[in-house]
A and B are shown apart, each in its own frame.
Chain A
Amino acid sequence: MLFEFEDSQFNRIFPFYVLIGEDLKIISIGKTLTKVHPDFTGKYFAEAFQVKRPQIVVTDIKSLSDVIDQLVVLECIGSKISLRGQFEFNERSAQVLFIGSPWFGSMGQVVENNLKIKDFAFHDPLIDLLHVLKTQEISNDELKQLVNSFNRQKEELKKANKEIQDIALFPTQNPDPLIRVDRSGNILRLNPSAEKLNEFTFNHITYNRADFWKQLSASLDPNSEREVYEAESGGKVYSFVVKSIPDFGYYNIYGRDITKQKQDEERLIILSSIAAKNTHGVVIANNQGVVEWVNESFEKMSGYAAHELINLKPGKFLQGKDTDPETIRYISQQVRAGEPFRCEILNYNKIGTPYWVRILGQALKDEQGNVFKYFAIQEDVTEKKKTEEQLRQIETKFRVALEKIGDNVWEHDFKTGKTYFSKKINEFLGVDSQNAQLNDKLWWLSIHKEDLPLLIENDRRCRSGEIDSHSLEYRVVSADGTIRWVLDRGVVTEKDENGYPVRLIGTHTDITRIKETEMELATSLKQFKSLSENIPGVIYEYEFRKDGTEGFRYISSAIERIFGISSEEFFNFQKYIHEDDLPRIFEKNQKSKETLEPFYIEARLMIPGKGEVWHSVSSSFSYYSQEGAAVFIGFMLDINDRKKFEETLKANEEKFRNILANMNIGLIEVDKERKITYANKRFAEMINMPEDQIYGVDTLLYLAPQSRDLVDAKFPERQKGKSEGYEIQVNINGKKEWWFVSVAPKIDISGNFSGSTVICLDVSDRKDLEQQLIVAREKAEQLGKTKEIFLANMSHEIRTPMNAIIGMGNQLAKTELKGDQQMFLKTIQSAADNLLIIINDILDFSKIEAGRLELEYIGFEPREVVGQILRVMTYKAEEKGILLTNSLYDKRLASVLKGDPYRINQVLLNLVSNSIKFTEKGSVDILCEVIEDKPDSQKLRITVEDTGVGMDESFVNKIFEKFTQEYKSGSRRYGGTGLGMSISKDLIELMGGTIEVISQKGIGTKVFLTLELEKGVQSDLQDKNHVEIQNDFLKGKRIIVADDNDNNRLVASFILQNYGAEILEAGDGKKVVDLLMEADADLILMDIQMPVMNGIDATGWIRKSGNTIPIIALTANAIKGENEKCIAAGMNDYISKPFKEEDFLNTIAIWMNKSKNKVIESVTEPSKLVSTQKLYDLEKIIPFSRGNESFLKKMIKVFCDQTPAEVDEMVAAFNAQQFEKMGAIAHKIKPNIDNFNILLLAEDIRLVEKARKEKVDFQQLETAIENIKRVTSEVIESMKADYPE
């Protein structure tokens, strides 16, 4: 259906439409939109609109057409009008149409944009929606008002409620407990304070809350207005006032914490008792100072009865003529001020006897701070006063005495805090002042600041009563800055009643001199000690006394460290001196004693546990001691190492001197000009010159010219400090000699080159020998080469006729033969086979001897190797009537191993054939087992075991020697060269394996081969290229057979003709070239050694002419390298003579097929070539499946399902030349190809994979890709047939 509208019609329906072109330009817009935005048409979409929904970035028309299935909101740039609608894409015109209408929030916006109802399409519900919205808004507003009014009322209600609650809460916030209980004591209400009281103790019984109130209410009178109880709770005492409320039938109980009140009461009782019973006098007066009360002690002290004193002022009756008026004034003043007072005062009792009291007075004040009472305590201190007076008098006497001695005497009064110094103070501080107080301050100021803490601490201890006396040493700094040391000693002479000091007296003594001496001494001692401890010798003092005796005065303790003897022990030094050295020591000692000359000796100490130690002793006279002894100060050193070193040095020097002088090697020293400065005896002999004439001889004169050049060339190196050895030729009196010289530079103390030291050895004899050896070696090499050439020739010469014999024998065997003829032929064939083995053995042997045997390193199937042996040898075994078996084939043996299968085959063939040869009855068995299975390799043991004649132990030992067979006559009986075992051993060892023989005469022989071979995979296997040969497979083919040996040509031609080929024969290479010019051919069999033109040259000619005909070499040279030469010359393959017919035909068939494929590729399916092979197998997968067939099927299904798509993708990548991608897919497919053993593709898939990273031949790649596609589809077809779902 196609709609078509006129502009006006469309505008009527969609007045807000927008049409956008492919270039995003606005083609047209609806009429109403034009009204608002007349300028939009022609603008770019992005200049006019912003897409608010969905979030997209408009880059091209596609970004709009992508959102056709979404609701779109556009905002007009300029008016901010939002359009709500959708896009539609017209594929034909590549235009996008937007259909929508404005999205306004209110009618107000419509009007603001100057739009009218008629501007909107009738179907557009916007205007009506806006009306609905408006109506809704109106009701909303009304609703809101209603809600607000509710809210207001609710708030007011809330407020009122809160106030009521506050009022109600008031009593509950009372900090005193409030309780309401009914008449039975059940709790009706508790305020929070009452809730905290859980236990009550009442009349010494503790109750829980509920019980307590019940107990209490039992004793309450319901009619009583007010009852009060006290009880304890939570460690506090409460008074509970119980008020009965008869109207409601309950009690309100008001609790109050009276703990403090109770405590005060108790304390008052105690205090009153203390005051009354106190031994000190206690008096209480009112605020006017009039006595109100006195205790008994006061009565006793004053001699008045209490009633006599009441209403009197104490001063009136207590003070007398000697009472200190100052003290009276002090007391009055304190009393007036309401302050406490404390003093000692002389009172008089009733009968006028004076007595001293210490008085302590205190005003008692009410809460407003007004004094309402005084009380005073008086202690009788009369006795104490007397003692103090006596003490003071004694002290005065002592002070006078001390001052006279010369010390400064001082006295400190702790009450006044003043210190009094005697006159001597001036001398310490260097000031002239008689003011005692000033001295006190000066003293503290003059104390050295480092020592001040000492004094402060002492002062503290003294004041606190901790100490009663002190003795301090500290420094004071006098006015002129001199520091003096003071010995300060003091003792407390008076203490107060509390044990605190009242008076301290002491002396200051000047100890500056003593101090200085002490310090100097200490420093010297420390220095000396440190010195003597740390020097590597022992310091000592040795004295010769006046009475003729002598001995050590001092030995430093270092002796213990150095010699392991303590100082004390060494005082008796004689016992440590080696007895041989004692006389020397005594002699020298005596001399020093007599002359006071310095003493020096080196002698041996015999130290227990350490043995002999050399030490040196050296001393000199120092001073005479107070006792008049001559004192020597000296030191001892351990010189053991030095002595030992000296001895060794001496011995060495002796030794080398002897060696140098007498050695059979010439030694000279030359100067920078290379003139001799020293020569040993031998050198003099070497140049045939008397030793005494040799000095200054120019060494260069003796050098042969070419050696002179060599020496000159080496000289600069020597000057650089390099040593080296080389051979030179010298000319001694006309006789030429070869010397080996070793030259080392001599470097003087300043590090400069000063000449050389040269060691010369006559090597003329050795040189001669060397020359002879070189000649001999060259000869031997020549001989070896000759042997090789001989072998090659022999190989060729023997093999060529052998080829004919074996080939013809085979052909003859195919013909009808009579009984005898058959036997004759068999003998010939057998002899020829044996001969071939012998020739091969000899060749191998020569190659091994020459070290030129090279091993293959290819993948092979070990099972196949063993199978081959069985196939070949069973016939021979059967002939002798013995059994050939393979009784053990280890399952673990890898299906593919890497190594040289041909040589392993050769060894096994040799062993098995030996076993068969030497076994008359019984069996020969082959056992294959894995003895070590590693991740990458396997160690296997192959045992060939027979029940043959066996060998003597003595023979077993030399079985591997060459040309060996047991019994000299054995050769005749059993045949063979005796090389087989030797070659086998060499081959196995070349492969890194071992071969071992165990044999018992008459029982049998076991030969063990042990080999370690790397594991391989299927793809390591060489192309089998095995083709099926039909009887007429060469029909219509023309083959050139080139060989100068007629027999060989005949054999080859004969075989080929049997299969239908047309043969052109050529006797030399030239003939081949000629033949090719005349006629076409399909293949050439080319001998190498031919007259006129050899096979290599002929191939060169053919290839140069551009002919690609397959050329197969026929080589008789079994020497390695020959085959490579053929391929290098341009041949395609090679066949060694003598050949086996099967191999021969196989090789030809392969090349026939190859060339055929090349020509008629399009009509032939190459896969048919290998049609007999299975396309795939499950050998590798089966182990994974563990016998689970459904797993196998699943694997196959997955392969069948996935592979075609993957291959298609790979082909597509190849076609698009995306080699990276193609290779990656190949990499992915590869494991499947390998797992399913699809051998046909093993190489192809790898080639394709490789193409990802490196350049490969395009043609090859194309073929590989095609193969993969074709073979995988065949495999899948085959799988589906084999495993139907």
Chain B
Amino acid sequence: MYGIVNRAIEDLIKSKFGEESWERVKEKSGVDIDFFISNEPYDDSITYKLATAASEELAVPLATVLNEFGEWWIMKTGKEKYGGLMEAGGDDLKEFLCNLPVFHNRVMLIYPKLTPPEFKVSDIQENSIQVHYFSKRLGLHNFVEGLLSGLGKLYNTPVVVEHIHHRLEEADHDIFKVSW
């Protein structure tokens, strides 16, 4: 993962729970890196360790941490650091989600060493859409759920995200139904 991801976790915990909380999370995780450089790739395990430690430290399930983080990623990291890019994604939530596959494929340009997941959309209805999430990484579906609900917030559109298909094996993928 790129440093920006770990930085986002750091920002999330610091702003919501304070500096000390972040220090304890870092201590618990055993991660000995003081400063994450945004466009420097780091080992995936660092991100997982931080998320797990945050779950322990804040006494909330890991799923909640990842979900929360997903929203944060959209509302803070995306909006503040890549505001222009996000705005170019679409005028409203539906348009953004329809553009999501192409949008995400373009992100590769920003991070050449990225192993980004792939998104597809289907069942596009007036008030709902199904987002297919293909990833080499396991266990990040809650993060994606958070991203999707974060997008709802970004576009001021209250959404319901349902995880309607759980990935069971390597070749499989997750499906989320986003309704608004």
Contacts and interface: CB of A to CB of B under 8 A. Distances in A.
Our verdict on whether A and B bind, yes or no, reads yes
Interface of A: 53-55, 69-71, 73, 84, 103, 105, 129, 133, 136, 140, 143-144, 147, 150-151, 154
A54 B101 contact: yes
Taking each of B106, B112, B113, B134, which has the highest tally of chain A beta carbons within 10 Å of its own beta carbon?
B112
A154 B118 contact: no
A140 B39 contact: yes
A70 B34 contact: no
B120 A54 contact: yes
A55 B102 contact: no
A144 B134 CA distance: 32
Nearest to B132: A55
B37 A105 contact: no
B162 interface: no
Nearest to A143: B37
A136 B39 contact: yes
Contacts of A103: 108, 112
A147 B34 contact: yes
Contacts of B120: 54-55
Contact of B106 (A54, A71, A105): A71
B118 A54 contact: yes
A53 B118 contact: yes
Interface string B3-40: 00000000000000000000000000000011101011
Interface of B: 33-35, 37, 39-40, 101-102, 105-106, 108-109, 112-113, 118, 120, 134
A53 B112 CA distance: 15
A70 B39 contact: no
Contact of B37 (A55, A69, A70, A140): A140
B105 A53 contact: yes
B37 A147 contact: yes
Given A54-B120, A105-B113, A140-B40, A147 B35 contact: yes
Nearest to A144: B37
Contacts of B34: 147, 150-151, 154
Nearest to B98: A69
A1150 B39 CA distance: 92
Contacts, number: 42
B20 to A, nearest CB: 16
Contacts of A73: 105, 108
Contacts of A143: 37
B114 to A, nearest CB: 10
B130 to A, nearest CB: 15
Contacts of A147: 34-35, 37
Given A105-B112, A150-B34, A154-B34, A71 B40 contact: no
A65 B108 CA distance: 23
Contacts of B39: 136, 140
Nearest to B38: A140
A150 B37 CA distance: 14
A105 B112 CA distance: 6
Taking each of A71, A150, A151, A154, which has the highest tally of chain B beta carbons within 10 Å of its own beta carbon?
A71
B175 to A, nearest CB: 14
A129 B101 CA distance: 23
Contacts of A53: 105, 118
A71 B118 contact: no
Taking each of A53, A103, A151, which has the highest tally of chain B beta carbons within 10 Å of its own beta carbon?
A53
A73 B104 CA distance: 12
Which 10 A-B pairs give the minimum distances between C-beta atoms?
Answer: A71-B105, A105-B112, A147-B35, A71-B102, A151-B34, A53-B105, A70-B102, A143-B37, A55-B134, A70-B101
A71 B105 CA distance: 6
Given A140-B37, A147-B34, A147-B35, 18 more contacts: A53-B105, A53-B118, A54-B118, A54-B120, A55-B120, A69-B102, A70-B102, A70-B105, A71-B101, A71-B106, A73-B108, A105-B113, A136-B39, A140-B40, A144-B37, A147-B37, A151-B34, A154-B34
A129 B106 CA distance: 14
Contacts of A144: 37, 40
A685 to B, nearest CB: 97
Given A133-B112, A140-B40, A150 B101 contact: no
B35 A150 contact: yes
A73 B33 CA distance: 34
A53 B33 CA distance: 34
A123 to B, nearest CB: 16
A84 B102 CA distance: 12
Contacts of A69: 102
Contacts of A151: 33-35
Contacts of A84: 108
Contacts of A150: 34-35
A147 B35 CA distance: 7
A977 to B, nearest CB: 79
A53 B34 CA distance: 36
Contacts of A70: 101-102, 105
Nearest to B102: A71
Nearest to A53: B105
Taking each of A55, A129, A136, A154, which has the highest tally of chain B beta carbons within 10 Å of its own beta carbon?
A55
A140 B36 CA distance: 11
Contacts of A140: 37, 39-40
B21 to A, nearest CB: 19
A787 B40 CA distance: 116
Contacts of B113: 105
Contacts of A105: 112-113
A130 to B, nearest CB: 9
A287 to B, nearest CB: 63
A516 B134 CA distance: 94
Contacts of A136: 39
A223 B39 CA distance: 69
A140 B37 CA distance: 8
A753 to B, nearest CB: 76
Contacts of B101: 54, 70-71
Nearest to B35: A147
Contacts of B118: 53-55
Nearest to A125: B109
A440 B44 CA distance: 84
Nearest to B40: A140
A103 to B, nearest CB: 7
Contacts of A55: 118, 120, 134
A1164 to B, nearest CB: 49
A1194 B52 CA distance: 56
B106 to A, nearest CB: 6
11 contacts: A54-B105, A55-B120, A69-B102, A73-B108, A103-B108, A136-B39, A140-B40, A144-B40, A147-B37, A151-B34, A151-B35
A147 B118 CA distance: 33
Taking each of B35, B39, B106, B113, which has the highest tally of chain A beta carbons within 10 Å of its own beta carbon?
B35
Nearest to A133: B112
A84 B107 CA distance: 12
Nearest to A129: B109
A241 B24 CA distance: 42
Contacts of A154: 34
A84 B116 CA distance: 15
B109 to A, nearest CB: 8
A150 B105 CA distance: 36
A70 B119 CA distance: 11
B84 to A, nearest CB: 17
A53 B134 CA distance: 11
Nearest to A52: B118
Nearest to B173: A55
A144 B35 CA distance: 9
Nearest to B116: A53
Contacts of A133: 112
A108 to B, nearest CB: 12
Nearest to B106: A71
A103 B108 CA distance: 10
A151 B109 CA distance: 31
A69 B121 CA distance: 13
A103 B35 CA distance: 30
Contacts of B37: 140, 143-144, 147
